[in-house]
Amino acid sequence: MAAIQSCTFAQSLDAITSTKWTYQIGADAWALDASTKNDRKKSYVEDNSNLLLPNAFTQWPYQDVSGYGRLTGSLQFGSGVEASVKVRADQTVGLRVDEAFIQKNISPFLGLRIGVVDYKTSWCRTYEPDNGWIREVEAICNTPQFRDVTGGAPGAQILVNNTLGNYLIQSQAGIYRPLLLDFAPKEFGNVVPSTNYNVVRNDKLGLNINLVNLETALEARVSYIQAIQSADSPETDLQGTTKQASDLIYIGLSFPLSHQLNFRTTHVLQILKTTCRSDVAQLGSACNLNRSDKKISTSLELTYRLDMTDAISVGFNELDWQSQETWFNPERDLFAQADLFSVASRQVSMAWRREWGSGFHSIVQALQSVQKTQREGFSYPSNGWAVGVRLGYQF
């Protein structure tokens, strides 16, 4: 009888709970060449890094040959409750948890999430099993200038799904607190207030609307994410507080041109306003300043699927970043304005993905990049290229 009861309990448990885990592992090998081998001056004129080649702004020390890993998991309970986790590890972002949340489906149209939740601002394909790129075309997916608006953070989201004719409409609104649980204690956009800065506020809110035509497979996305941040600089010559407000809008459109050819384009606009106030910092220092940044990034992609095993993609990305600073003394009676700082980067990519069966795949990618950094009236152009090979396995 005990054996029968135990078996019945196990069967009941299996009936209300299901799990699914997906793993992606592999290695990338890159060959790089650029007209300038190193940045002219870090955080000042980064004419090598601004080419946005695979060695640019990596979280871990860059290696020509490196491994990567992706973990995706889901657990479904009864009563419309499910859990999800997504973790990635690579030299670009290091080890990062993008999702670890509990979701309650209140109805077929309404759901709530709490935990580490993905902003889903962009269409980055980090976890997609058929991603045709080693290094994605969109700058928002690769560089720290946008990195704090991709991935996820501790927070809560409300999800609304509905249909209107042939269209599926998916909406998501959320609030995010990256400082919770010490999740991202140093995240502060791409501004570094000082060597020993301490972030005291990092609050975000976001809204995404995704539209899918269920007949034509046309897909469109509009996203908005706002960040309000504050950091203290304890150094004796600064003793200041830096406040920053960021507003970012993301627009994406994807649709098939034929059964084998798909077109995709995205556009990003980010506006940042930064101020630093101090009673001791002198004119021209890292505090007592006003700063405004404007970043615009546009991407175009075409993917042609030859058959079930081979796909060829070409892509183009254009990034323009302009920054203006005004400095003043503690008494606010002396002012100085810096010359406009700007970075213009253009990149063309081509990739070939092949499925070898049994979970194995390979990607060969080539990219060419040019950039021009302007600082204090001087221009610092550079160019470079990269060729990479990925050998990957997913199960």
Domain boundaries, the chain: 18-394
- What is the model's pLDDT at position 189? 80
For residues 134 and 138, give the distance between their C-alpha atoms in angstroms, rounded to a whole number. Answer: 12
CA-nearest of 347, 310, 338 to 53 is 347
- Whose tokens are 């060597």? That residue is 195
- What is the model's pLDDT at position 146? 73
Domain 18-394: give its CATH superfamily. Porin (2.40.160.10)
Specify the 3-state DSSP secondary structure of 2: helix
Which pTM value belongs to this model? 0.91
CA-nearest of 256, 370, 248 to 297 is 248
Upper half-sphere CA count for residue 198 (Cβ side, 13 Å)? 8
- What is the model's pLDDT at position 193? 87
Specify the 3-state DSSP secondary structure of 62: coil
Q: Is the dihedral of CA 141, 142, 146, 150 positive or negative?
A: positive
For residues 185 and 25, give the distance between their C-alpha atoms in angstroms, rounded to a whole number. Answer: 28
For residues 140 and 142, give the distance between their C-alpha atoms in angstroms, rounded to a whole number. Answer: 6
- What is the model's pLDDT at position 10? 44
- What is the model's pLDDT at position 147? 67
**Beta-bridge mates of residue 227:** 204, 246
For residues 343 and 51, give the distance between their C-alpha atoms in angstroms, rounded to a whole number. Answer: 10
Specify the 3-state DSSP secondary structure of 35: coil
Alpha helices (H) in the chain, listed in sequence order: 2-16
What is the separation, in whole angstroms, between the first and last Cα of the chain?
A: 39
| One pLDDT digit (tens) per residue for the chain, 395 residues | 444 444 443 444 454 478 899 999 999 999 999 999 899 887 778 899 999 999 999 999 999 999 999 999 999 988 889 999 999 999 999 999 999 999 999 999 999 999 999 999 999 999 999 999 999 999 999 877 776 777 899 999 999 999 999 999 999 999 999 999 999 999 988 778 888 999 999 999 999 999 999 999 999 999 999 999 999 999 989 999 999 999 999 999 999 999 999 999 999 999 999 999 999 888 888 898 999 999 999 999 999 999 999 999 999 999 999 999 998 888 888 888 888 999 999 999 999 999 999 999 999 999 999 999 998 889 999 999 999 999 999 99
Specify the 3-state DSSP secondary structure of 15: helix
- What is the model's pLDDT at position 9? 39
Contact 239, 279 (CB under 8 A): yes
For residues 236 and 261, give the distance between their C-alpha atoms in angstroms, rounded to a whole number. Answer: 60
**Beta-bridge mates of residue 188:** 190
Greatest CA span in the chain, whole angstroms? Answer: 89
For residues 180 and 188, give the distance between their C-alpha atoms in angstroms, rounded to a whole number. Answer: 14
- What is the model's pLDDT at position 337? 87
